[in-house]
Amino acid sequence: MAHNQEKIKILKERLGFNWQNEDLLHLALTHSSYAYEKNCRGQENNQRLEFLGDAVLELVVSDYLYRTYPGHTEGELTRLRAAIVCEPSLARIARNLELGFSLYMGRGEERSGGRERPSILADAFEALLGAIYLDQGLEVARKVALKFLEPVINDVLEGRMERDYKTELQEILQEEGVVDINYTILHEEGPDHHKTFTAAVYFQGREMGRGQGRSKKEAEQQAACQALARLGYLQG
């Protein structure tokens, strides 16, 4: 536990502010497995803070993209946000902060590799943002989030972390036994040099997603993105 406390001390220094209620920080770092082993009450883990932090993160990134890219469509902004706040991106930030080694975690979860598990790391970063929001307010939470998100945002905007939603959707549906997936371009508008395409994706006889883009490929990707969100597979 001494090692854990040393990591938390380093984390506090990296965050760059003084906590008004440090209990919030420790709660954000309390995994449910630790609370279970210690026979804590059901809410004495970081899950509620994760719920709050997820909303804070989405607002901060949405606001940043909206202000930075006034010419982007809703679909383009949604695609960028999804790539920025997805589990791999958040887990990467958590690793840089060494959050896994700061967590209070049950011994069973730790032995199974929990301190390196991407889902746990991503959840911990969201919980941390939720705690910062409650303790310091939205503006500090925004600054902290954008500070640590900066390398991820740069990678996404430079095309180094683009998600292939069509492939993701196909792989998920194939696992569920769905093989008949069809994309259709519904319409296109605008001059030849600046067209906007609208596409839809269909499976099991229903339209499951619709999206727009500057190319047919982009529109189909956005349709797949919406389908993934509708099915509950897309974070953010």
Percent of the chain with pLDDT over 90: 38
Higher-confidence residue: 214 or 188?
Answer: 188
- pLDDT given for residue 3 in this prediction: 52
The predicted structure's pLDDT at residue 189:
86
- Residue 13 exposed, middle or buried by CB count within 10 Å (0-12, 13-18, 19+): exposed
82 contact partners, CB below 8 Å, separation of at least 6: 163, 225, 234, 235, 236
Q: What is the mean pLDDT of residues 190-213?
A: 85
Domains of the chain: 1-158 (1.10.1520.10), 165-231 (3.30.160.20)
Look at residue 216 and tell me whether its pLDDT is greater than 90: no
Binned at pLDDT 50, 70 and 90, residue 117 comes out as confident
- pLDDT computed for residue 62 by the predictor: 96
3-state secondary structure 71-105: CCCHHHHHHHHHHHCCHHHHHHHHHHCCHHHCCEC
- Return the pLDDT at 193: 67
Query: 194 versus 17: which is more confidently predicted?
Result: 17
Q: State the pLDDT at residue 137.
A: 97
Share of the chain above pLDDT 70, in %: 92
Mean pLDDT of 77-86: 84
Is 73 a residue whose pLDDT tops 70?
yes
Region 184-210: mean pLDDT is 87
pLDDT of residue 36: 78
User: Looking at residue 236, what is its pLDDT?
Assistant: 44
Residues 3-9 have a mean pLDDT of 77
| Average pLDDT of every residue of the chain | 86
Q: Does the annotation place 109 within a ligand binding site?
A: no
The pLDDT of residue 23 is 94
Per-residue pLDDT of 29-67, as tens digits, reads 999 888 777 766 555 899 999 999 999 999 999 999 999
Q: Which two tokens stand for residue 71?
A: 């010419």
List residues with catalytic annotation: 54, 126
User: In this predicted model, what pLDDT tens digit does every residue of 123-146 receive, in sequence order?
Assistant: 999 999 999 999 999 999 999 999
215-222: average pLDDT: 84
**Confidence at residue 85, expressed as pLDDT on a 0 to 100 scale:** 86
Q: Which amino acid is at 68?
A: T
Is 123 flagged in the annotation as binding? yes
